[in-house]
Structure 1
Amino acid sequence: MTNRLSRLLETRDWLLADGATGTNLFNMGLMAGDAPEFWNVNETAKIKALYKGAVDAGSDIFLTNTFGGNAARLKLHDGQDRVFELNKAGAEIAREVADASGRSVVVAGSVGPTGEIMEPMGTLTYSSAVEMFHAQAEGLKAGGADVLWVETISAPEEYKAAAEAALLAGMAWCGTMSFDTAGRTMMGLTSQGMSDMVEKLDHGPLAYGANCGVGASDLLRTILGFAAQGAETPLIAKGNAGIPKYVDGHIHYDGTPELMANYAVLARNSGATIIGGCCGTTPDHLVKMRAALEETPKGPRPTLDQITSALGGFSSATDGTSDDEPVSTRRGNRRRRPT
């Protein structure tokens, strides 16, 4: 499926993705517990400003405000019958911003997890997950999204369901999972396990990788794990801007623009082609990241010591791929919304 992103990947050594959605919307007045997707129709000027902030900062790819735009999540706000409307609206505003930029900018239709636990541990069936993701994909496609961007997934079955939904919608896609303590997703998948899964998909992603998680250092260790598998599919790194801290009643991330600039260069050197930020990443961070990628020649793959020296320590001793690493005992699959 030839599209704007595949063409950019053929001609560029790296691409800058966007930063946070939630963090920036909270700064615009979104209240905790509200559904951001409703702003696609109720606060269109603010959503346009969100998108434009990323594009003006130099992003080659930016995500639509549709992370929770599936029926299961929207049902929490009595919006389960508005899936097509809200996703289409979010993509339409994005298309307008991208087309007005004067350069080739990719609109990536954000598709987050359902928030439900899949069988056999939960009640969500594979076919139901495909149906929900497909409904969301059709709205994003109608609104003008170039690709689907599946993100913050923990369960391999849910990732596969999103891949099938993309195929049903006739859309190319990218997909990231979130790796937490000890380098595993909440459902126990390692970077090696994800790489193996991606290579076996009938409708594989244009790029895959990791987003969110527990910090930029841990995320880059995961990227190194992907790169070690030798796959030719481009890798995605979307790390948080530091570590969250609760200050004066609000969550703040301590990663400075300078730290994220170092992270961006290290991400590229670790093997990532698409580099962006997740929670806490603002346009100010993106400006510094873009400048660092443009001005710093590509270097050798960094060591773990070089990563921790630049970005801080890891949250665990290993990345989850060694034979003696215990499988996570956590069983939840309700991924929080990236901020």
Structure 2
Amino acid sequence: MTQDALSRMLARRDWILADGATGTNLFNMGLQSGEAPELWNVDEPDKIRALYRGPVEAGSDLFLTNTFGGNASRLKLHDAQDRVRELNRAGAELAREVADAAGRDIVVAGSIGPTGDIFAPMGTLTHEAAVEMFHEQAEGLKEGGADVLWVETISAPEEYKAAAEAAALAGMPWCGTMSFDTAGRTMMGTTSEGMVALVGKLKDRAPMAFGANCGVGASDLLRTVLGFTAQGPERPVIAKGNAGIPKFSGGHIHYDGTPELMAEYAVMARDCGATIIGGCCGTTPEHLAKMRAALEERERGPRPSLERIVEVLGGFSSENDGTGDDAAPARARRGRRRS
């Protein structure tokens, strides 16, 4: 498939099923806490092929590469900062192999997560350094055959802008999501309304699609999606919510969202106005299969109310969506790994 594969799919489909978690499924395969998953693109290629086949066989139309932490800043923690291009290229090559063998159109999305650094003046990261890191990663993903870059779990508008510039330098289409995990805002204070404005200001560097991923639970994410669609954005909206709420048990984090709950979430995400619908932390191929079936079998319904979202998916983690006067203040943090 060519690099405009997602554009072609969007032109003929009114919803697209994305994939689920990366970290959750890799931990199930034996990845240890503290290990860099990206090293497995070279050291454990068969496990990465299996990771990719999971969503494809469950019915996903698009899946992300195992490159979320594949930037120089993250890989430096594992003394692998000089392997950015290699590890991203390998992750995309394995994905291309699985997608091309699927017998149907599958979009390979090159995952790009946050640098984990804080922008100046609060931190030391400059715009130029962020662009350089993202561009290096983008070139590796492009060489490996990714159809589109997929920037995700971003908190800072400055980092989103840097990713946009890097995608343009690489000559690649891109999609970009932020994580609204602090009382309806990102950790750096961006609201759903603010993100729509941010995307609009990017003009010719704007993403093909934008939205939210990770965050708290599925209910919160859909409230954010409603915040996007209320602004009447021109671009397709992405919804990639966690499979329920994380619970720590037996030394591991488990998510309480059942496949049946995620099927309800998928249908409600479509009704909220999302076009690209997937899962994030805790979402397994079993969840995705139920989501696919629900999207295929159930008719599109009216836009759900907040009360309806709570009734079906459970309560919100905060009283409002971050746009009110009592919204949480912005806080700095190191970006967290998508799991």
Q: Deviations over 1:52-72 (max 9, x none)?
A: 001000000000000000000
Cα shift readout 1:73-105 (whole Å, capped 9, x = no counterpart): 000000000000000000000000000001110
CA distance in 1, matches of 2:112, 2:239: 17
Corresponding residue for residue 242 of structure 1: 244
Q: 1:329, CA displacement in angstroms?
A: 4.1
Alignment correspondent of 2:31:
30
The equivalences for 1:181-192 within 5 A come to: 181-192=182-193
Equivalent in the alignment of 2:338: 338
Q: Distance in 1 between matches of 2:277 and 2:85?
A: 29
Cα offset for 1:302?
Answer: 0.2
Distance across 2 between alignment mates of 1:128 and 1:318: 35
CA distance in 2, matches of 1:281, 1:43: 22
Which of 305, 308, 314 lines up with 1:306 in the alignment? 308
| TM-score, with length taken from structure 2 | 0.98
Does the 8 Å contact 2:271/2:304 carry over to 1?
A: yes
CA contact 1:236–1:274 (8 Å) conserved in 2? yes
For residues 308 and 9 of structure 1, what CA distance do their matches in structure 2 show? 30
Matches within 5 A, 1:118-137: 118-137=119-138
Whether the 8 Å CA contact 1:181–1:315 is kept in 2: the answer is: no
Determine if contact 2:320/2:327 at 8 Å carries over to the other structure: no
Whether the 8 Å contact between 1:19 and 1:282 is mirrored in structure 2 is yes
Q: In 1, are the aligned partners of 2:21 and 2:338 still within 8 Å (CA)?
A: yes
1:64–1:107 Cα contact (<8 Å) kept:
yes
Cα deviation for residue 327 of structure 1 reads: 4.5
Secondary structure class of the residue paired with 2:267? helix
1:39-78 equivalences under 5 Å are: 39-78=40-79
Residue 251 of structure 1 aligns with which residue?
Answer: 253
Q: Which residue does the alignment assign to 2:319?
A: 317
Aligned to 2:205: 203
| Structure 1 position 247, deviation (Å) | 1.0
Contact 2:138 2:167 in 1 (8 A): yes
| Contact 1:38-1:86 at 8 Å conserved across structures | yes
Q: State the secondary structure of the residue aligned to 1:184.
A: coil
AA at the equivalent of 2:184: G
Alpha-carbon deviation of 1:182? 1.6
Letter in 1 for 2:298: T
Unaligned 5+ runs, structure 2? none
Following the alignment from structure 1 to structure 2, what is the Cα–Cα distance between the partners of residues 319 and 246?
26
Give the superposition deviation at 1:137: 0.1
CA 108–309 in structure 1, closer or farther in 2 if over 3 Å, else same:
same
**Identity of paired residues, percent?**
75
Tell me if 1:143 matches 2:144.
yes
> Is residue 61–residue 107 contact of structure 1 (8 Å, CA) maintained in 2?
yes
Q: Distance in 1 between the 2:142 and 2:312 partners?
A: 40
CA distance in 1 between partners of 2:56 and 2:234 (Å): 28
Q: Distance in 2 between matches of 1:283 and 1:65?
A: 16
Q: Structure 1: which 5+ residue stretches go unaligned? A: none
Query: Could you tell me how far apart the structure 2 residues matched to 1:181 and 1:119 are?
Result: 21
Partner of 2:263 in structure 1? Answer: 261
User: Aligned-pair RMSD on alpha carbons?
Assistant: 0.9
One-letter identity of the residue aligned with 1:317: E
The correspondence for 2:284, drawn from 276, 282, 285, is 282
- 2: distance between equivalents of 1:231 and 1:329? 25
Q: Secondary structure at the match of 1:124?
A: coil
Q: How does 1:199-238 map to 2 (within 5 A)?
A: 199-201=200-202, 202-238=204-240
Alignment check: 8 A CA contact 2:211 2:238 kept = yes
Output the CA distance in 1 between the equivalents of 2:171 and 2:193.
Answer: 28
Q: Supply the AA of the counterpart residue of 2:336.
A: R
Question: How many residues in Structure 1 have an aligned counterpart in Structure 2?
Answer: 337
SS at 1:238 equivalent: strand
Distance 2:157 2:146 in 1: 24
Q: Secondary structure at the match of 1:320?
A: coil
CA deviation profile, 1:108-154 (whole Å, cap 9, x unmatched): 00000000000111000000000000000000000000000000000
Q: Deviations over 1:145-185 (max 9, x none)?
A: 00000000000000000000000000000000000132100
